[in-house]
Each structure stands twice: as C-alpha cells, then as structure tokens.
C-alpha cells in the first residue's frame, strides 16, 4: 500500500483541497503531491502536522511502528549519526546530537545510525528532551540528570519559537519560552499546554568592551546605522527588540543591513560582538558578562517551562516541579548573573 494514499483519502473525506491543505501545513502543493503519491516520506514534524490537521495520528496515516524511533532530520546516505532517543507522546523520537545551528547536551549517545540502521545502546529511549535557548535550561537539565539518574535529561539548544513548535509537534518533552513579566499566555491553556514558571532573568542591549562605537541606547544604535547581531525572527530577543523599537516609534524594517548571518543563540551573538563583527545586540546578561561585553540597557524577562497535555510521564513532570522548589537548584540558577528563581 502506498502510505500517502491514506493522507489523500482522509483529506478527501474532510473536503479539503490540495492547495488549502498544503497551505495549512506550510508546504508546497508539489511536496504534498509527492507525499500523497508515496514519492516522498515526510519528516516527523510534517507528519505530525498532517496528522493534527486530519484529526488522526501519524501511526494511522503512515503505518509507523511505535517501536521504531521517528527522526527529526533526513539522514544523508552513507553518513553516520549519534542519536539521543526519548519517548514523547508514547512514541520514540530520535534526535541528532550534532545538528547544524544547535546541539544536545549530555555527551554520550543513546543510539547510533550506521548505513541507515539504528543500533540502540543500553538505556536507549530514556532521554528527556528540554528545548530552548535560555542557559537556565542547561542548569535544569544537568540538575535533573543528577537527581534522576535513571533518565538522561538533554538540553536541546533552540530558539524561543522553535521550542514552542517542537512541543506542539511532539519532538520534545518540554520547551522553555520567555516573555516580559507582564505578558499573558492565554494560548497555553487554549492549546492544551501546561506551564510552570522557572525563573526571571535579564536580557541586555550590549556592546563591545569599552563601547568602541560610543553607543548610548537602543534608539541611538538603531538610528545610527550600527551593525546588529541579529537573532532569527521568532526568537525571544527579536520579539523583544521589535516591541522596544515599536515603543520608540520605529520598527525592525528600519535596521541597517549588515551582510551578517543570523546568530542562532545568545552565545554566538555575544561572540560576534566580542570579535567586532557586530556593534550591538540583545543577549542574556549572564552570557554577555561572561564574554566581557558592556551592558547599556537591561530588560527583565521570565521563563516558562511548557509541555503538552499527555506528552510526558506524569512522574517525570512531578519530579521536575518538585525540584523547582529545591534551594540547591535555586542557588545553581541564581549563580547565573541576572537570574532569580521563581517562587
């Protein structure tokens, strides 16, 4: 049976045109046609989006076996990969440990992919994925791995919007999102999410050591044509920058082009400023100070740990929530400059 035929049949039952369905899941009509005719196998992210739109499951539509881990990437022929393997929403998910623009903490892999076949190591499938860019998430992952050694808690370095999307599509167990303390998150309850506040912290508009360009404020940086260490659209830093520029009566569209690539995380943005590749940027204060940068303005943020209903073992959720009240964990997080543990 051509697995894609089940997608086409279900879409037809719901009366959704190919063009409309492709738009909903964010792919081209040609890509949808290839999936529906069995010429192409969708990534796990797209498969879960298709299943969600059709009110079904990926297993029902694509015949995936629950004991075969879904991959979060398309393997290249002849290449080998180190994998972290965990269970999200009652299915195994295998994530590449050395991925472009990101990384997964916890040095030892759970499994290896060699010539397209996965060889599982001892304890494979016990990784707990925590996605986000906030350094406090790395502290939490290390702490939980120590407190709960039967599982491996992996920090997946990803930007704010990606972490949210990975929770929605079942690629991660937990995501960390951040916003200003007055922000509301009605979409959490409406979307079937749960959340708990992890910490408050500061993100700063920073410049190089000694402020070589004599930048005095975010407004001055924007109007002076200086080079921004730009983060990807949808990241917390860019969302904050957009809000601040709007408050100043301007917008992101007025930023001067720099020819620089987008920097995927706080650390790489800080390094670009430190090396003189960029003049300023919004970076977590803890990382900025660690790299010897000068803080011009700071903004308080809060970090929310989010997860989807039914996506995790309730015991794991309870363990994490209990540890968030640990004084020792609080000290670890508060050792990061500008951080305070939520209470």
pLDDT digit string, tens, across residues 31-59 = 888 888 777 777 777 887 888 888 877 76
| 19 in any annotated domain | yes
Q: Is residue 36 part of a domain?
A: yes
Note the pLDDT of residue 250.
81
Residue 43 lies in a domain: yes
8: in domain: yes
> Which pLDDT does position 251 carry in this prediction?
80
The gap from C-alpha 285 to its chain's centroid, in whole angstroms, comes to: 20
Per the listing, tokens 């209990």 go with 322
Res 12: pLDDT:
87
Residue 253: the pLDDT is 78
Which residues in the chain land under pLDDT 50? Answer: 1-4, 65-66
Three-state secondary structure call for residue 116 = coil
Q: What is the pLDDT of residue 206?
A: 96
- What is the domain range of residue 50? 4-62
State residue 37's pLDDT score.
Answer: 78
CATH number, domain of 21, equals 1.10.260.40
pLDDT value at residue 279:
94
Of 95, 106, 182, 93, which Cα lies nearest the Cα of 141?
106
Q: What is the pLDDT of residue 277?
A: 93
Q: Are strands 70-71 and 91-96 parallel, antiparallel or unpaired?
A: parallel
Number of domains in the chain: 1
Alpha carbons 46 and 39: distance in angstroms, whole number = 15
199 assigned to some structural domain: no
H-type alpha helices, 148-260: 160-169, 186-190, 218-223, 236-247
pLDDT at 67: 60
pLDDT of residue 70: 80
- Work out the angle at residue 70's Cα, subtended by the Cα atoms of residues 64 and 71, and round it to the nearest 5 degrees: 140
Model pLDDT, residue 257: 74
Instruction: Specify the pLDDT at position 4.
Output: 43
User: Residue 126: which of 98, 87, 164, 155 has the closest Cα?
Assistant: 87
pLDDT of residue 51: 82
Measured over the CA atoms of residue 282, residue 95, residue 1 and residue 66, the dihedral's sign is negative
Structure confidence at residue 59 (pLDDT): 65
CB neighbour list of residue 321: distance below 8 Å, 6 or more residues apart: 196
- With respect to residue 119, please indicate whether it lies within any of the assigned structural domains: no
Residue 115 lies in a domain: no
DSSP 50-91: HHHHTTS-HHHHH---TTSPEESS-PPTT--EEEEEEEETTE
pLDDT at residue 283, rounded to an integer: 93
Residue 134 lies in a domain: no
What is the rounded CA–CA span in Å between residue 272 and residue 169? Answer: 32
pLDDT of residue 142: 93
- Look up residue 206 and give its two tokens: 């920073």
């Amino acid at each position: 049976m051509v697995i894609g035929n089940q997608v086409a049949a279900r879409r037809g039952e719901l009366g959704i045109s190919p063009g409309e369905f492709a738009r909903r899941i964010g792919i081209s009509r040609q890509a949808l046609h290839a999936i529906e005719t069995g010429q192409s196998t969708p990534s796990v992210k797209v498969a879960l989006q298709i299943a969600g739109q059709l009110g079904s499951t990926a297993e029902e539509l694509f015949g995936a076996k629950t004991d075969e881990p879904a991959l979060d990437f398309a393997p290249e022929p002849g290449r080998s990969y180190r994998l972290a393997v965990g269970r999200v929403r009652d299915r195994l998910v295998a994530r590449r440990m050395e991925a472009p623009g990101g990384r997964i903490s916890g040095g030892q892999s759970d499994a290896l992919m060699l010539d397209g076949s996965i060889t599982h190591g001892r304890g494979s499938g016990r990784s707990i994925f925590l996605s986000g860019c906030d350094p406090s998430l790395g502290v939490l992952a290390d702490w939980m791995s120590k407190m709960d050694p039967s599982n491996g808690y992996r920090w997946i370095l990803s930007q704010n919007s990606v972490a949210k999307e990975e929770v929605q599509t079942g690629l991660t167990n937990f995501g960390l999102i951040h916003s200003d303390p007055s922000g509301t998150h009605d979409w959490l309850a409406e979307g079937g999410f749960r959340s708990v506040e992890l910490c408050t912290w500061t993100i700063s508009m920073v410049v190089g050591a000694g402020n070589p360009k004599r930048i005095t404020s975010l407004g001055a940086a924007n109007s002076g044509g200086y080079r921004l260490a730009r983060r990807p659209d949808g990241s917390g830093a860019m969302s904050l920058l957009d809000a601040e520029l709007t408050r100043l009566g301007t917008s992101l569209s007025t930023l001067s082009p720099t020819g620089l690539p987008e920097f995927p995380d706080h650390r790489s943005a800080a390094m670009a400023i430190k090396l003189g590749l960029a003049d300023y940027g919004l970076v977590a204060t803890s990382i900025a100070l660690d790299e010897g940068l000068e803080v011009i303005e700071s903004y308080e943020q809060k970090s929310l740990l989010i997860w989807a209903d039914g996506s995790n073992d309730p015991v794991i959720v309870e363990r994490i929530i209990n540890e968030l009240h640990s004084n020792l964990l609080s000290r670890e997080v508060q050792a990061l400059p500008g951080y305070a543990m939520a209470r």
